[in-house]
A = this chain, B = another copy of it.
Amino acid sequence: MNRKLRMAMIGGGKDAFIGAVHRIALNMDGQVELVAGALSVKPEVAIESGNMLFLDEERIYTDYKTLLEKEAAMPADKRIDFVSIVTPNFVHFEPAMMALEKGFNVVIEKPITFTLDEAKQLKAKVEETGLSLLLCHTYTGYPMVKQAKQFLKSGALGKIRKVYVEYPQGWLSTLLEAAGNAQASWRTDPKRSGKAGAMGDIGTHAFNLAEYVTGLEVTHLCADINIVVEGRMLDDDGAAFLKFNNGATGVLMATQIAAGEENNVKIRVYGEKGGVEWKQEDANTLLVKWLDKPTEIYRTGAGYNSSFAAHNTRVPAGHPEGYLEAFGNLYRNFILTVRAKMNGEQPKDECLDYPSVNEGVRGMAFVNNVIDSGESEVKWKEFVV
């Protein structure tokens, strides 16, 4: 198969934020062609947005159901290969299920669904169909995050003992949702965002990052969940103690009211012999700390990195790669996997290393568990999936 993959986008019209990010990420490597879209629930926005993206008029749809039906009915040499769903949380599940049923691979923004049960259904459907699904936990696409995971996996630092993961933001320090901010509006609305605010929006990222980097699973947690800004309907701040399945413990912090903070996701993991530290503000650096020798600065693009880091790097060392490249890596690995499967080949391990339905189910379980724990007077809560 020597052609670009064909795709459609659901959501992500001209006023949306994350849709545009997806498009940069998927365009970057020149492996995909955006050929269809149901870009907005507002027909005029859907059409205008489709035109801005140079879509053929007949493939600019005004609702996702029509899109999926019409595309499914197209001949194989024209039909899309996958669909990207970049709508608010409450409109993830249905289009994803329908797409899978129509035989399309799926990319979906996180959190995967509105409820844990939906996530499980989606997982079952993916397993049933054998199709691929990418869940966009972007931070795991950074080369130095992959390096951290591989380094820990190598055992060089011994058994993992302690995990600190944090995601401080400040943008919800005021009641933005009452000031007409569209992003704030749906993200703080239980009907569109779900059970959790900050915990769903960024807590899930922190949780996913911790499980990804360590290769461990959380078994218990104890959470302190707060609504700090008066008048807000969902949590905007929280923290959780974590217990992992190897006996390690951890602390997770996620807040949207740390006024003055941007988006400095950070993770530190300590084993018996040393630790690793990565933070988004210095995304091309991985610090490797040792009990008895100098800390080492691992850098994106250097020759000593693992094949997983190298596979997710585009330019030589010293040319900083950022958030969009990390996002692009999710797409690239998903696309390489889809392409390999279409060609009847086994995808490389490095390609298969992208977040999918398992991460989706655990993320939704995190939302449930962390909110439940926040409301509980008992300290430790078992992590139930």
A residues at B contact (CB < 8 Å): 2-4, 17, 20-21, 23-24, 27-30, 34, 51, 53-54, 157, 161-162, 164, 166, 168-170, 173-174, 222, 224, 226, 228, 237, 239, 241, 249, 251, 253, 255, 257-264, 268, 270-275, 280-284, 288-299, 301-304, 314-325, 376-380
Contacts and interface: CB of A to CB of B under 8 A. Distances in A.
Contacts of A270: 170, 173, 255, 257-261
A262 B317 contact: yes
A283 B294 CA distance: 16
A22 to B, nearest CB: 11
Contacts of A377: 378-380
Given A27-B27, A162-B258, A294 B302 contact: yes
B292 A304 contact: yes
B262 A318 contact: yes
Contacts of A292: 303-304
B273 A259 contact: yes
A174, A257, A294, A321: most-surrounded residue (chain B CB, <10 A): A294
Given A54-B4, A237-B162, A315 B21 contact: yes
B289 A294 contact: no
A283 B281 CA distance: 10
Going nearest first, the 9 A-B pairs with the smallest beta carbon separation are A260-B289, A262-B318, A263-B318, A319-B323, A320-B322, A322-B322, A294-B296, A295-B297, A224-B241
Contact of A253 (B251, B281, B282): B251
A51, A257, A270, A296: most-surrounded residue (chain B CB, <10 A): A270
A174 B54 CA distance: 49
A33 to B, nearest CB: 9
B321 A324 contact: yes
Contacts of A21: 314-315
Contacts of A303: 292
Nearest to A247: B228
Nearest to A18: B315
B30 A30 contact: no
B314 A259 contact: no
A369 to B, nearest CB: 14
B297 A304 contact: no
Contact of A291 (B253, B260, B316, B379): B260
Given A257-B162, A275-B258, A34 B30 contact: yes
28 contacts: A2-B54, A21-B314, A24-B30, A30-B53, A169-B318, A174-B272, A174-B291, A222-B224, A258-B275, A259-B270, A260-B270, A260-B295, A263-B318, A263-B319, A264-B318, A281-B318, A288-B294, A293-B304, A295-B297, A295-B299, A297-B297, A319-B322, A319-B323, A320-B323, A321-B322, A322-B324, A324-B324, A324-B325
A324 B317 contact: no
Nearest to A224: B241
A340 to B, nearest CB: 16
Contact of A28 (B24, B263, B289): B24
A2, A4, A289, A298: most-surrounded residue (chain B CB, <10 A): A289
A241 B251 CA distance: 10
Contacts of A281: 318, 320
Nearest to A3: B54
B274 A162 contact: no
Contacts of A284: 322
A13 to B, nearest CB: 15
Contact of A379 (B222, B290, B293, B325): B222
